[in-house]
Amino acid sequence: MKPLNILIVEDGQTQREMLRDFLAKQGHFITERDTGEGAIEAIRSGQLDLVLMDYKMPGMNGLQALQAIKEINPEIDIIMMTAYGTIETAVDAMKAGAVDYVTKPIELEELLIHVDRISERRTLIRENEMLREQLKDKGVTAENIVFRSREMEGLVNLVGRVSGSRTTVLIQGESGTGKELFARLIHNLSPRSDKTMIVVNCSALPESLLESELFGHEKGSFTGATMRRIGRFEQADGGTLFLDEIGDLSPPVQVKLLRFLQEREFQRVGGNQVLHADVRIISATNRDLEARVKEGIFREDLFYRLNVVVMSVPPLRERKEDIPPLIDHFMKRYSRQNGKEIREISREARDMLLKYDYPGNVRELENIIERAVVISRGSVLTMEDLPFRELPESAAEPGKIQGRLLKDAVEELERRMIIEAMEEAGHHQTKAAEILGMSERMLRYKLKKYRLK
């Protein structure tokens, strides 16, 4: 991660110097100011990535300074530091554009986690901008890369890092999450982009035909084989072979695929000639392959051959911030395709779409918007154009925690979730961190914070 240019705005000299010395030791470049007015001056005169802003200062307070800074540079990240950890302070700061807030007395380890997270995100953003430029240089449209969430940002970044190699990639995710889109991105950014990418859906063909489809067959090798057939491996020579729903491969096909991955060779059905092909394998599944290995359905040695680089695409219900840009993207696409002039979507309809859980993921959202555009009578999509008139059960409002500070409620929920994850992981911190979706360092900090053993 690249070091950040950090501005510390704190009227207390001792506190300011403590933060300066600590963050400088982490390799960051520090600028100091003791007033809100001084902070604005520093923003105008230098290139800064992050501002640590004290909430209560003489003259212009932290919230006023935050608002002024955001008008000058909306992209800058701001963390509010406050001794007043009420929900009002937190909400005001977040509404004004703060990326996070910490309460005094400041725990340096916790602050470092926030700073590292911002540094990592800024690194991802820079790398993803380079990735989009690479796509543009190769003549590949980037219009299908529609996202806002950090999870998808990380996956797109991973695409950029693995595309240049010939390593096998396994893409996991529910149906409709866009696994094939990621496979095509990897291919289009790879040195193989001028060759073909062949797609095979392993669950769409019966077992008797799949082996022939992949590896080809010789004339007379079975009833109906009236001529030699070239398989997908030969067709994809020099390019990429995308095996979708690979968890449905039959045992005989698994054996032949394993041989290819190990030796880069194969034989047509009914043939004796050993053939070779320069093919990169990208596979995808909506099944739990590890569970299928334990059940004896999927070969363990093949699993490890495929499981070199793993990309797990989260379902749409776990990245709701991606829904608004996807709505706008699909609305424009299908308006253009159907000769409509749909300019916007009503607030009620948009709220409904945000609350729905999408068991069919992005594909389901796309179908909903396409249908709405087609049947709409006006220039605005409304509730009448959606396939549901009432709030779906999956979108029911969760129970609310009444009469408590936001910080207290969040910490209590967090503490319970950590306890449950540690029990589920047999008190193994690495596994518990994976369950919770956080780093081991963050988990260790939380265990210490909540005095959990």
What CA–CA distance (Å, rounded) separates 439 from 203?
Answer: 36
Section 393-411 average pLDDT:
48
Per-residue pLDDT tens for 323-380? 999 999 999 999 999 999 998 999 889 988 998 989 999 999 999 999 999 999 999 9
Asked if the bond preceding 191 is cis, omega within 30° of 0, the reply is no
DSSP per-residue letters across 310-358: EEEPPPGGG-GGGHHHHHHHHHHHHHHHTT----EE-HHHHHHHHH---
CA nearest to 269, candidates 310, 214, 323, 329: 214
> Lowest mean pLDDT: which of 52-61, 220-229, 312-321?
220-229
Counting every residue written for the chain, the total comes to 453
Neighbouring CB atoms inside 10 A of 166's CB total 13
What does pLDDT average to over the chain?
A: 86
What CA–CA distance (Å, rounded) separates 191 from 196?
Answer: 12
What CA–CA distance (Å, rounded) separates 343 from 340?
Answer: 9
- Position 84 pLDDT exceeds 80: no
Section 143-166 average pLDDT:
84
What are the angstrom distances between the C-alpha of 227 and each of 215, 216, 218, 267?
A: 14, 11, 7, 16
Query: What is the predicted pLDDT for the residue at 47?
Result: 85
Higher-confidence residue of 435 and 394: namely 435
Per-residue pLDDT tens for 99-148? 888 888 888 998 999 999 899 888 877 777 777 676 666 655 545 678 88
| Tokens 């918007």, residue located | 369
Higher-confidence residue of 87 and 72: namely 72
What CA–CA distance (Å, rounded) separates 297 from 207?
Answer: 14
Query: What is the predicted pLDDT for the residue at 401?
Result: 39
What CA–CA distance (Å, rounded) separates 329 from 342?
Answer: 12
* Phi, psi (rounded to 5 degrees) for 199: -110, 130
Query: What is the predicted pLDDT for the residue at 438?
Result: 77
Domains along the chain with CATH numbers: 5-106 (3.40.50.2300), 150-312 (3.40.50.300), 317-395 (1.10.8.60), 406-449 (1.10.10)
